[in-house]
Amino acid sequence: MDAARTYLIEREQWLARPIEEVFAFYGDATNLEAITPAWLRFSVITPAPIAMRAGTLIEYRLRWRRMPLRWTTIIEAWEPPHRFVDTQLQGPYRLWHHTHTFEAQMGGTLIRDQVRYRLPLGWLGVVLHRLGIRRDLEAIFDDRARRVRELLGPGRGPGQVAGTGVGRRSTTRRPNA
């Protein structure tokens, strides 16, 4: 019996920025370096500029708890300015499926992230998740929301009011449940 679980992270953040501007920011893969916590030493190693579309491959390098990792994702869906999906092809997860959606709302943009992920190593992956992986992922997404507010907030160009609404929901699900 496979002890691995599928986990879910869902986040929402509203910004007082036009949807086209917010999507363009998120759609530039090199901006991931600016919104990823410094402790991960994250870098995009695919040469810029990266032409984003369905089928685009992006390679990254990072350090998690001093362990060097390489990560390759594919853009599975590219639907400007409303949605894109990246899925891990190679990296630390057994499954990483990240859906980004953008909705014009209240004169700004509601950003939604939904990440479904599974860890390798069966029951050991479940234990490692409880011991720190979940907490680290929550910290990464918390920091990302803060950095996005800083970068796209007041005094950063059009849309002079930064959004502060951030929603968190993280759950654990059994596969196929």
| CB-based contact 5:173 (threshold 8 Å) | yes
Residue 146: partners with Cβ closer than 8 Å, 6 or more residues away: none
What pLDDT is stored for residue 145 in this prediction? 94
13 burial via Cβ count (<10 Å: 0-12, 13-18, 19+): buried
Residue 7: how many other CB atoms lie within 10 Å: 21
What pLDDT is stored for residue 4 in this prediction? 66
Q: What global pTM score does this model have?
A: 0.85
Could you tell me the fold of the domain covering 6-173? Alpha-D-Glucose-1,6-Bisphosphate; Chain A, domain 4 (3.30.530)
> What does the pLDDT look like over 31-90, one tens digit per residue?
999 999 999 999 999 999 999 999 999 999 999 888 899 999 999 999 999 999 999 999
Query: Is the previous residue joined to 81 through a cis bond, with omega within 30 degrees of 0?
Result: yes
> What does the pLDDT look like over 117-176, one tens digit per residue?
999 988 888 888 999 999 999 999 999 999 999 999 754 443 333 344 445 555 544 444
CA distance 146 to 141: 9
Cα 159 from chain centre: 23
Residue 35: partners with Cβ closer than 8 Å, 6 or more residues away: 143, 144, 147, 148, 151
* Domain spans of the chain, in order of start: 6-173
